[in-house]
Structure 1
Amino acid sequence: MKRTIRKVAVLGSGVMGSRIACHFAGVGLQVLLLDMVPKEAAAVQDKLLRNKLVNDALQAAIKSNPSPLYTKDAAKRIRTGNFTDDMKAISGCDWIIEVVVERLDIKKMIFDQVEEHRKPGTLVSSNTSGIPIHLMAEGRSEDFRKHFCGTHFFNPPRYLRLLEVIPTADTDPEVVNFFLEYGSLQLGKTTVLCKDTPAFIANRIGVYGIMSIFRLIDELQLTIDDVDALTGPVIGRPKSATFRTADIVGIDTLVKVAQGVAANCPADEQKDIFQPPVWLSKMVGDNWLGDKTGQGFFRKSKSATGEKEILTLNLKTGEYAPRQKPRFATLETAKPVDDLKTRLGMVVQGTDKAGEFYRLFHYGLFSYISHRIPEIADELYRIDDAMMAGFGWEIGAFESWDVLNVGKTTEKMKAAGFTVAPWVDEMLAAGIKSFYTVQNGKRLFYDIASKSYRPIPGADAFIVMKNFEGETVWKNSACRTYHLGDDVLGLEWYTKMGSIGGEVLEGIQKSILLAEDKYKGLVIANDTTNFSAGANVGMIFMFAIEQEYDELDMAIRQFQQTMTRARFSAVPVVVAPHALALGGACELTLHSDRACAAAETYIGLVELGVGLIPGGGGTKEFTLRAADEMHEDEPETITLKNRFLTIATAKVATSAHEAFELGILRKGHDEVVFNQGRRITEAKKSVIELYDSGYISPVVRQDIKVLGRSALGALLTGINGMWRANYATDHDALVARKLAYVMCGGDLSEPTLVSEQYLLDLEREAFLSLCGEKKTLERIQSVLKSGKPIRN
C-alpha cells in the first residue's frame, strides 16, 4: 500500500523525545508532542500548567546547542499537549512513536492508550534502546502488532544518521520496508535492519569496543588522555574518542547497556568484558556520570589565573589533574598522513605501546564482529553501516579489516590468541580475500549465506565517487574526474580539508572542458568528511609574505575565471556540497547551475574573518543578487545592506535550509537532500534533467545596478557605528569599508548599470590590497597555525 506521513505523534518529551520531534518538524512534518501532566497540576484546568512539562522540555531542546532544528521556524510545526487531555488527538496521526522512560510497565501503559485512540493501519514504533521489541507487542491487537516496530534513533537525532529498524515476528514486511525507505529518503538516515537482540547492532558493537578499551587501559597501563589521543580522528573516529564520548552519552547509560548485554547474552563469548571494572562501578556509585552531573572522566575547572581548563580523572588515585598530551612515536609518525587507510596500516605496525594497543584493540574487535553474525545481523555490511552512522566511524569494522588485509591479519590474530568465526576461515579458504569489492562502480559485500559477493541492497540510490576509479577520465595529484555513467562526469578532489588551490582549479576547468566535448554535464562533489574549507590560504600567505603580488594577482584571476567558467559553461555544472563549504567552496556553489546540498551543509563566505573579502566572485555574486532583489516599495539600500552584513559578519548557515535564508541557496532552484549519501545521485539526476530539457548557458550580465555613493555613505556610517561601539576592531572596519566600496560599485555619483567583469575587477583589487595589510597576514598565519583567526 502507498503510505504518506503528514503528521507524527511523539509520546514523551525528554531529551530524545523533544529532539526527535524537532527533527520530524525540520523535515516538514506536523508534530504532536505529548507528555505527562505535572503532579502539581493534576487537579487544575489551566492548560499552560498542565502542559508545563512538555513545553519546558521543548523550549530546552530548541535553545540547546547544536540546534535540533534546521531553522527556527520549523518549531512552529510542533503542537504540544499531555497524555490525559490530548491522547485522543493521535487518531489524526500517521505515525506514533513512543519515547518514554525505559520501563516496560510504563511503555505498556502508554500503548494501552495508543490502542484506544489510534486508527487501524497507523504506524506505531518505540525508540527503546534496550527493551526487547517483542515484549512491548505482547497482548496487543493483530492490527497493532502488524504495524508495530522498533525505530531506534541515536542522540542527537538530527546529527547522528543512524536509524535502527527492529521488527517483531508479527510486523508486516510492508511496514518494515516502509520504515527503511522512509527513514533513508525523508529523514536522511542510514536505516539498518536489526534483529531483536540486546542493544541491537550499534550499541552492541560500540559498547563492546568501549568496554574492551577499559580492559586494555588496565592491561597496558594507559591513561585516559593516552586512550583518547589513540582512539580519535587518527583512526577515523570522532574527536570525542572514547572517554569524552562516555561523558557525553552518560556513564550510567553506558554501564546499563553493558550490564544488559552481560545478563541477557549468555552465549556471547566475550560477555565478561561487559562487566564494569571496579573503578567504573565506583564512578556510577559516586554519581560521576559525565556531562549530566558536571564530572565524569573529565571535569571543567578554573586555573590559578582564572582561566577555564579541563581536568582528567586519574583512574588509580581518583583525583583530577590537568590534561597531559601523550607522546607516542606511532602517533607522531601517523598523524601527518592524510589518508586514513594508510594511517591504519601504519599504527598497527607500531613498535611502541601505542602499536600494541592498536593491535590488541583491532584483533579483539575483528574477532567480536565475526562472531556476531548471524546473531545480530545476517549481512556484514549492516554492522559497518550501523557503526559509521551511529558512532561516527569514518569506515566500518569489516572495511578496516579489509584495509589491514583480512588473510594476514587473521593469521596474526590467531597467533595472538584471538579466534575468528568459522565463516571467515571458509571465506579465506575459498580464495575470497576481502569482505567488500567494487565492480562496475558498484560496491559488493561478501554474503555468508550464498558464499559469494552480492550488491548491497538499495545501493543504486548512492553514488560513491571512489567506486568509479576504474572509470577515471582525467586526473592530477589533487583531483580525479570520473565517468559516472549516463554521459555525466563527476569531479572530486582530496586535498587537506578540501582546500581549493591551483590543481583543484585546473581540475574544475579541465572537467568542464571534457564535459562540453562529449558529455551532458558535470557533478562536483566528494566523499570526504567536508566538502571544502575554502581556498588554499597557505598559498595566499606565501605569495603575500614574499610580496609576489603579480603571482597573487594571477592566482586570484585564475580563481575568478574558474568560477566564471562554471557559471557560463556550455553544459550544466551541478555542485553537491556537504558539511563545511566555506569561502571558495561557497563561491563555487554560488556560480553553479544548481546546488544539491546535503541538509547538514554549513556554508558561508567567511573571508572577513581572515581580513579579506570574497575574491573568487562571491562579492560580485552577492552584489548581483542584491540588485535583482531590489523592490520599488522599499529603500534600495535595504537589500544591499542585508547582503553586505552577511559577508561582513562572516555568517555561516548552520544547515542547507538556513542557507536559503542567507541568500546563498536559491529558492525554487537549488535543492536540499536530507540523506547526505544521496546528494551525488540527486546531482547527477539534475545534470541530466537540465541537459535534456534543453540547457542554455546563462548570458554574461551587463545590467547590474549598483548604488554608488548613496548606499556607500549609509554602509560606511554603519561600519563607523560598529567600530565606535567596539563591535569591530580597526582592521575589521578597514576590511568592511573595502567590501562596502566593491558592493556599491565604487565611488559613483549615482546609481549605475555595470557588468560582472567590472565588479570582479573591483573585488580583485580590494582583495589584493588587503593581502598587503600586516594584520591580514597575522590573521592568516593564525589560521594556518591553530585553525582559528586572531581578532586584531
Structure 2
Amino acid sequence: MKRTIRKVAVLGSGVMGSRIACHFAGVGIEVLLMDMVPKDAQESQDKAARNKLVNDALQAALKSNPSPVYSKEVVKRIRTGNFTDNMKEISGVDWIIEVVVERLDIKQQIFEQVEQYRKPGTLVSSNTSGIPIHMMAAGRSEDFQQYFCGTHFFNPPRYLRLLEIIPTPQTKPEVVDFLMQFGSLQLGKTTVLCKDTPAFIANRIGVYGIMAIFGLVDKLGLTIDEVDALTGPVIGRPKSATFRTADVVGIDTLVKVAKGVADNCPADEQRAVFTIPAWLEKMVANNWLGDKTGQGFFKKTKGAGGEKEILTLNLSTLEYGPRQKPKFAGLEAAKPVEDLATRLKMLVQATDKSGEFYRHFHYGLFSYISHRIPEISDELYRIDDAMMAGFGWEIGAFESWDVLGVGKTVSKMKEAGYSVAPWVEEMLAAGHTNFYKVENGKRFYYDIATKACQPIPGGEAFIVMKNFEGQTVWKNAACRAYHLGDDVIGLEWSTKMNSIGGEVLEAIQKSIGLAEEKYRGLVIANEGANFSAGANVGMIFMLAIEQEYDELDMAIRQFQQTMMRARYSSVPVVVAPHGLTLGGGCELNLHADKICAAAETYIGLVELGVGLIPGGGGSKEFALRAADEMHEDEPETITLKNRFLSVATAKVATSAQEGMEMGILRKGRDEIVLNQGRRISEAKRSVLELYDSGYITPIPRTDIKVLGRSGLGTLLTGINGMLRANYATEHDALVARKLAYVMCGGDLSEPTLVSEQYLLDLEREAFLSLCGERKTLERIQAVLKSGKPIRN
C-alpha cells in the first residue's frame, strides 16, 4: 500500500522529543506532542495545568540556540497534550514516535497504552539509544511488532543528519524500506540501516573513538588542550574535537554508553577500551558533567576584568587552569595544507609526538571498524555514512584508511601490534586495494559478502562533484567544470572559505560559454563546508590600500558582468547553495534561473559589515525586486524599505526557509532541498526541466521603477533615527546612505523607470567611493585578521 505521513505523535517532550517534534513540523507535518500530567495537576481540570510539562518543554526548545525550527511559523503545526487526556488521539496519526526516559519498564508501559488506541498498520518507533529494540516490543500484538522498529535521531535533530533505522526480526521489510526513503527525502536525513546491537553504529564507533583517545591521553601524557587541537578540523572533524564534544553531549551520557558496550558486548576484542578511567569516574562523582552542569573538561569563568574566560581541567590534579596553546611541529607543518587527504598523510608521517598520536589513533580505529563487520553492519559504507552524518566527520573511517593506503597501513598496523579482521586481508589478497572506487561518476564499495565491488545503493540520487573528475571539461587552479551526464555541466571551486575571486569569475564565464556551445545547462555547486563566504575581500583590500582604483573598477565590472552573464545566458543556470552563502555568493544565487538550496543555507548580503554595499549586482537586484513587489494598495516605500533594511542590517537568513521569507529565494520558483546530499542532483534535474520545457533567455530589464527623492527621504529619515538612537555608527550611516542612493535610483526628482545597467553603474560608483574610506579599510582589515567585523 502507498503510505503517507501527514500527522505524527511524539510521546515525550524532553530535549529530544520536543526537538524531534520541531523538526517534523519544520518539514510540513502536523505533530501531536505529549508528555505526562504533572504530579500537582493530577486532580486538576485546568487544561493548561495538565499540559504544563509539555508546554514548558516546547517553549524551552523554541527559545534554544541554535533554533530547532527553520521558521517560527512552523510552531503552528505542533499541538500539545498529555498521556492521560490525549492518548486516544493517536488513532488518527500515521506514525507514533516514543521518546520517553531510557527505562525499559516505562517504555513498555507507554507501548501498552499505545496499543489500546493505535490503528492497525500505524508505524511505531522508539528513539532509544541504549535499549535493545526487540525488548521493547516484547508482549505486543503481531501487528504492532510488524510495524515497530527503532528510529534513532541525533541531537539536535534539525542539524545532525543521521537517522539510524533499527528493525527487529518481526519488522516488515516494507516498513524498513519506507522509513529509509522517507527519512532521506522528507526529513532530509542520512538514513543508515543498523543491526540491533548495543549503541547501534554511530555511538558504538564514536564512543570507542573517544574512549581510545582517553587511553592515549594516559599513554602519551597528553593534555586536554593538546588532544582537542589534534582531533578537530585539522583531521576533518568538528571544531568541538574530543573533549569539547564530550562536554556538549554530557559526560554522564558518554559514560553510560561506554559502560553499556562493556557490559553487553563480551565478544568485543576492544572491550577493555571502554573501561572508565579513574579521573572520569571522579568527574561523574563530582557532578562535573559538561555544559549541563556548568563544568566538565572545560569551565567558563569571569576574569579579573569581567571578561569571559574558559579554563581547562588538568586530568592529573583535577584542577582547572588557563588554556594552553599546544605546539607540535607535525601539526604546524600540516595545518596550512588545504587538501584533507594530503594533510592526513603528513600528520600520520610526522616524527614528533603528534605523529605518534595519529598513528595510534588511526591504527586503533581501523582495527576496530574492521572487526565490527558483520557484527554491527554487513556493509562498510554504512559505518562511514553514520560517522559523517552523526558525528560530523568530513570523511568516514574506511575512506580515511583508503587515503593512507590500505595495504601499506595494514603492514604498519601489524608492526605496531594492531590486528585487522581477516576479510581485509582476503580483500587485499584478491587484488582489491581500496574500500571505495569511482567509475563514471558512480561510487562503488567493497562488499564483504560477494567479495566484489558493488555500487552504493541509491547513489544515483546523490551527485558528488569530485566523483566526475574523469569527466573534467575545463579547469583552472581553483575551479573544475565537469560533465555530469545528460549534457549538463557542473562547476565547483575550492578556495579559502570558497570565496569568489578572479579565477572563480573566469570559471563561471567559461562554464556558461561551454554550456551555451554544446550542453543543455549549468549547475553551480560545491561540497565544501560552505557554498561561499563572498567575494575575495583580500584582493579588494590590497587594491584599495594601494589606491589602484582603475584595477578595482575593472574587478567590480568583471563581477557584475559575470552575474549578468549568469542571468542572461542562453541555457539554464541553476545554483545549489548550502551553509554560508554570503555577499558575492548570495549575489550569484540572486542572478540564477533557479536556486536549489539545502535547508541549512545561511544566505544574505553582508557587505555593510565591512563598510561596503553589495557591488556585484546585489543592490541592483534588491532594488529591482522591491519595484516588482510594489502594490497600488500600499505606500510604494514599504517594499523598498523592507528590502533596504535587509541589506543595511546585513541580515543573514538562518535557514533556506527564512531566505525565502526574506525574498532572496523566490516562492514558486526556487526550491528547498531538505537532504543536503540531494541538492546537486535536484539542481541537475531542474536544469533539464528548464531546458526541455523550451528555455528562453530573459530580456534585460529597462522598466525598473525607482522612487528617487521620495524614496530617499523616507530611507534617510530612518537612517538618521538609527544614528541618533545609537543603533548605528557614523560610518554605518554613511554606508547606508550610499545604499539608499543606489536603491532609489539616485537623486531623481520623481519616480522613474530605469535599466539594470543604470543601477549597476550607481552601485559600482558607490562601492568604489567606499573603498576609499579609511573606516571601511579598517573593517576589511579586521575581518582579514580575525574573521570578525568591527564597529567603528
TM tier, shorter chain? over 0.9
Is 1:259 the equivalent of 2:267?
no
Structure 1 segment 359-374 matched on structure 2, within 5 A: 359-374=359-374
Match of 1:108?
Answer: 108
Q: Could you tell me how far 1:652 is from its partner in structure 2?
A: 0.4
Amino acid across the alignment from 2:66: P
Q: Could you tell me how far 1:217 is from its partner in structure 2?
A: 0.4
Match of 2:133?
Answer: 133
Amino acid across the alignment from 1:256: K
Match of 1:775?
Answer: 775
Q: Could you tell me how far 1:556 is from its partner in structure 2?
A: 0.2
Amino acid across the alignment from 2:629: E
Q: Could you tell me how far 1:67 is from its partner in structure 2?
A: 0.3
Match of 2:517?
Answer: 517
Is 1:425 the equivalent of 2:425?
yes
Match of 2:327?
Answer: 327
The one-character-per-residue Cα deviations of 1:233-288 (angstroms, maximum 9, x if unpaired) are 00000000000000000000000000000000000000011011000011001100
For the residues of structure 1 that align with 2:528 and 2:443, how far apart are their CA atoms? Answer: 17
Match of 1:337?
Answer: 337
Is 1:704 the equivalent of 2:704?
yes
**SS of residue matched to 1:299:** strand
Is 1:586 the equivalent of 2:605?
no
Match of 1:297?
Answer: 297
For the residues of structure 2 that align with 1:246 and 1:470, how far apart are their CA atoms? Answer: 41
Gaps of 5+ in 1: none
Q: Could you tell me how far 1:305 is from its partner in structure 2?
A: 1.3
Amino acid across the alignment from 1:451: K
Match of 1:82?
Answer: 82
The one-character-per-residue Cα deviations of 1:410-466 (angstroms, maximum 9, x if unpaired) are 100000000000000111111110000001110000001111100000111000000
For the residues of structure 2 that align with 1:585 and 1:760, how far apart are their CA atoms? Answer: 17
For the residues of structure 2 that align with 1:481 and 1:76, how far apart are their CA atoms? Answer: 44
The one-character-per-residue Cα deviations of 1:504-546 (angstroms, maximum 9, x if unpaired) are 0000000000000111100000111111101000100110011
Match of 1:530?
Answer: 530
Q: Could you tell me how far 1:714 is from its partner in structure 2?
A: 1.0
Match of 2:182?
Answer: 182
Amino acid across the alignment from 1:470: G
For the residues of structure 1 that align with 2:584 and 2:524, how far apart are their CA atoms? Answer: 14
For the residues of structure 1 that align with 2:549 and 2:773, how far apart are their CA atoms? Answer: 13
The one-character-per-residue Cα deviations of 1:575-620 (angstroms, maximum 9, x if unpaired) are 0000111000100000000000000000000000000000000000
For the residues of structure 1 that align with 2:189 and 2:748, how far apart are their CA atoms? Answer: 52
The one-character-per-residue Cα deviations of 1:668-698 (angstroms, maximum 9, x if unpaired) are 0000000000000000000000000000011
**SS of residue matched to 2:349:** coil
Match of 2:168?
Answer: 168
For the residues of structure 2 that align with 1:307 and 1:788, how far apart are their CA atoms? Answer: 18
Q: Could you tell me how far 1:196 is from its partner in structure 2?
A: 0.1
Is 1:403 the equivalent of 2:421?
no
The one-character-per-residue Cα deviations of 1:716-739 (angstroms, maximum 9, x if unpaired) are 111011111111011101000000
Q: Could you tell me how far 1:707 is from its partner in structure 2?
A: 0.2
**SS of residue matched to 1:348:** helix
Match of 2:651?
Answer: 651
For the residues of structure 1 that align with 2:682 and 2:754, how far apart are their CA atoms? Answer: 36
For the residues of structure 2 that align with 1:77 and 1:271, how far apart are their CA atoms? Answer: 45
Match of 2:52?
Answer: 52
Structure 1 segment 373-384 matched on structure 2, within 5 A: 373-384=373-384
The one-character-per-residue Cα deviations of 1:334-358 (angstroms, maximum 9, x if unpaired) are 1111111111011001111111100
Gaps of 5+ in 2: none
For the residues of structure 1 that align with 2:304 and 2:588, how far apart are their CA atoms? Answer: 48
The one-character-per-residue Cα deviations of 1:62-95 (angstroms, maximum 9, x if unpaired) are 0000000000000110000000000001111000
Q: Could you tell me how far 1:322 is from its partner in structure 2?
A: 1.0
Match of 2:13?
Answer: 13
For the residues of structure 2 that align with 1:357 and 1:545, how far apart are their CA atoms? Answer: 44
Amino acid across the alignment from 1:554: M
For the residues of structure 2 that align with 1:335 and 1:752, how far apart are their CA atoms? Answer: 55
Structure 1 segment 388-467 matched on structure 2, within 5 A: 388-467=388-467
The one-character-per-residue Cα deviations of 1:612-665 (angstroms, maximum 9, x if unpaired) are 000000000000000000000100000000000000000000000000111100
**SS of residue matched to 1:164:** strand
For the residues of structure 2 that align with 1:416 and 1:785, how far apart are their CA atoms? Answer: 42
Match of 1:756?
Answer: 756
Match of 2:224?
Answer: 224
Amino acid across the alignment from 1:454: Q
For the residues of structure 2 that align with 1:722 and 1:524, how far apart are their CA atoms? Answer: 38
**SS of residue matched to 1:149:** strand
Identity among equivalent positions (%) equals 82
**SS of residue matched to 1:780:** helix
For the residues of structure 1 that align with 2:303 and 2:5, how far apart are their CA atoms? Answer: 53
Match of 2:96?
Answer: 96
**SS of residue matched to 1:689:** helix
The one-character-per-residue Cα deviations of 1:390-410 (angstroms, maximum 9, x if unpaired) are 000000000000000001011
Match of 1:273?
Answer: 273
Match of 2:143?
Answer: 143
When normalised by structure 1's length, the TM-score is: 1.00
RMSD: 0.4
Is 1:65 the equivalent of 2:65?
yes
**SS of residue matched to 1:276:** coil
Match of 1:618?
Answer: 618
Q: Could you tell me how far 1:304 is from its partner in structure 2?
A: 1.1
Amino acid across the alignment from 2:348: V
Amino acid across the alignment from 2:212: S
Match of 1:629?
Answer: 629
For the residues of structure 2 that align with 1:534 and 1:144, how far apart are their CA atoms? Answer: 52
Amino acid across the alignment from 1:233: P
For the residues of structure 1 that align with 2:544 and 2:405, how far apart are their CA atoms? Answer: 46
Amino acid across the alignment from 2:197: T
Match of 1:674?
Answer: 674
When normalised by structure 2's length, the TM-score is: 1.00
For the residues of structure 2 that align with 1:248 and 1:694, how far apart are their CA atoms? Answer: 52
Match of 2:352?
Answer: 352
The one-character-per-residue Cα deviations of 1:6-55 (angstroms, maximum 9, x if unpaired) are 00000000000000000000000000000000000001100000000000
For the residues of structure 1 that align with 2:234 and 2:528, how far apart are their CA atoms? Answer: 15
Match of 1:311?
Answer: 311
Amino acid across the alignment from 1:274: F
For the residues of structure 1 that align with 2:173 and 2:293, how far apart are their CA atoms? Answer: 43
For the residues of structure 2 that align with 1:612 and 1:31, how far apart are their CA atoms? Answer: 44
For the residues of structure 2 that align with 1:541 and 1:434, how far apart are their CA atoms? Answer: 45
Match of 2:539?
Answer: 539
For the residues of structure 2 that align with 1:524 and 1:719, how far apart are their CA atoms? Answer: 37
Amino acid across the alignment from 1:54: V
Q: Could you tell me how far 1:496 is from its partner in structure 2?
A: 1.1
For the residues of structure 2 that align with 1:590 and 1:427, how far apart are their CA atoms? Answer: 49
The one-character-per-residue Cα deviations of 1:738-765 (angstroms, maximum 9, x if unpaired) are 0000000000010000000000000000
For the residues of structure 2 that align with 1:308 and 1:49, how far apart are their CA atoms? Answer: 39
**SS of residue matched to 2:506:** helix
Amino acid across the alignment from 2:272: D
Structure 1 segment 563-582 matched on structure 2, within 5 A: 563-582=563-582
For the residues of structure 1 that align with 2:323 and 2:78, how far apart are their CA atoms? Answer: 43
Match of 1:153?
Answer: 153
Runs of 4+ in 1 over 3 A off after TM superposition: none
What is the aligned length? 792
**SS of residue matched to 1:727:** coil
Amino acid across the alignment from 1:491: L
Match of 1:285?
Answer: 285
Q: Could you tell me how far 1:181 is from its partner in structure 2?
A: 0.3
Q: Could you tell me how far 1:308 is from its partner in structure 2?
A: 0.6
Match of 1:506?
Answer: 506
For the residues of structure 1 that align with 2:70 and 2:330, how far apart are their CA atoms? Answer: 41
Q: Could you tell me how far 1:480 is from its partner in structure 2?
A: 0.5
